[in-house]
Amino acid sequence: MQSSHFDLVPARDWETWSTEHDAVIIDVREPAEWARGVLPGSELITLETLPEHMNDLDKDRAILFVCRTGNRSGVAARYFAMNGFTKAANLTGGLVDLGMA
């Protein structure tokens, strides 16, 4: 079994962390939520469909998972970490902490 360790990135630090780690930003919300606002440069892959997209992502590249409050993105980050993604991260506090939700 792989490690379930993943980084916790405070919402206010998302841009700095993403830039420093050359991260892919994956938003795991539903399309209706996505339509209300997104982080620049993020890609929508709903939590439900995330497992089928796992092979499309680089295991060695940093991935910042994002959602409304940080709960679903935490599930995603843990799941990816347990499946060999060594640079998975969760945006803690989610878009709510950024005043976007």
Q: Which residues are catalytic?
A: 67
C-alpha closest to that of 23 among 2, 5, 9: 9
How far, in Å, CA of 101 to CA of 91, rounded?
Answer: 14
Q: Is 94 left (phi over 0), alpha (psi -120 to 50) or beta?
A: left
Q: What is the DSSP letter of 29?
A: S
